[in-house]
Amino acid sequence: MNKNNESYVLRWAKKIKAVKMLGGECKNCHTKDLFVLTFHHMRDDKEYLISNILKGRWSIVEKEIKKCELLCCNCHIELHCNQNPIDKRMSELKKDLLKYKNVYHCQSCGYGTDNFSSLDFHHRSLLEKSFEITKETFRRKLILPYIIKELEKCEILCKNCHCKNHIDIDKFNKLESAIFSKVEDYKEVREALDREKVYELYNSGMRQIDIAKIFKCSKSTICTIIKESKMNENLKILP
């Protein structure tokens, strides 16, 4: 397996572990579709966006996951909708855009509510895409003819279907066995011990067994570090 696939497998394995930690389904609508599940921070102590740290250490991911609940993309965006003036303005502009299309539901799965925040404008072809419609409309504060022209290149998808449309599900299926195997077998690689700190504690009179408890490692590992540190120290004083 090449490095790109290894990274892909590890990232998905960590997401699946995180999803399982939070119950495996959207807290609101109860969908279990892995491809549309996302992480909603419930408090104001958010440190990281989960998608940004899935490539990092599991211990960091796990700490952040404990601040979250599991929602699908539709439920997540609808929860955040209209929480501030910008969101409210964006919602009004989106309603106007949907009027031009005369479509008020997902053209893939049929999903639709009075909260239109979950509906996206999906370009049928990225090669024809000139700009992101919602952002451009918000920037201009009104719907201009060239924006209407761009709308003709799009279909209306809910956040869930839009998300799945942009995921390489064929690649996931191809590597599915490796991904779920990694979920079961994953072990976090220990960060390198601070060798200078270990030797400093040893020179202060602390026992090796107590140093091992601090660093949560074996006594033999501490012993090896101390021996190597002593050897390096002796080499430094040689003429």
**pLDDT by residue, tens only, the chain of 239 residues:** 788 899 999 999 999 999 999 999 999 999 999 999 999 999 888 888 898 888 888 888 999 999 999 999 999 998 888 666 777 777 778 888 898 899 999 999 999 888 888 999 999 998 899 999 888 888 877 788 998 999 999 999 999 999 999 999 999 999 999 999 988 877 766 666 788 888 889 999 999 999 988 887 888 888 988 888 887 776 555 45
- Helices 58-65, 3-21: axis angle to 10 degrees equals 30
Output helix, strand, coil percentages for the chain, rounded to the nearest 5.
Answer: 55, 10, 35
Whether 26 and 59 share a structural domain? yes
222 within some domain: yes
Residue 7, domain extent: 3-77+169-185
Whether 119 and 161 share a structural domain? yes
Distance from C-alpha of 147 to C-alpha of 50, rounded to nearest angstrom: 33
31 within some domain: yes
Residue 5 token pair: 């696939």
26 within some domain: yes
153 within some domain: yes
SS3 of 191-223 = CCCCHHHHHHHHHCCCCHHHHHHHHCCCHHHHH
Distance from C-alpha of 194 to C-alpha of 65, rounded to nearest angstrom: 27
pTM value surpassing 0.85 = no
Q: How many domains does the structure of the chain reveal?
A: 3
Whether 112 and 139 share a structural domain? yes
Strand, helix or coil for residue 70 = strand
State the DSSP code for 131. Answer: S
* In contact, 83 and 44? CB cutoff 8 Å: no
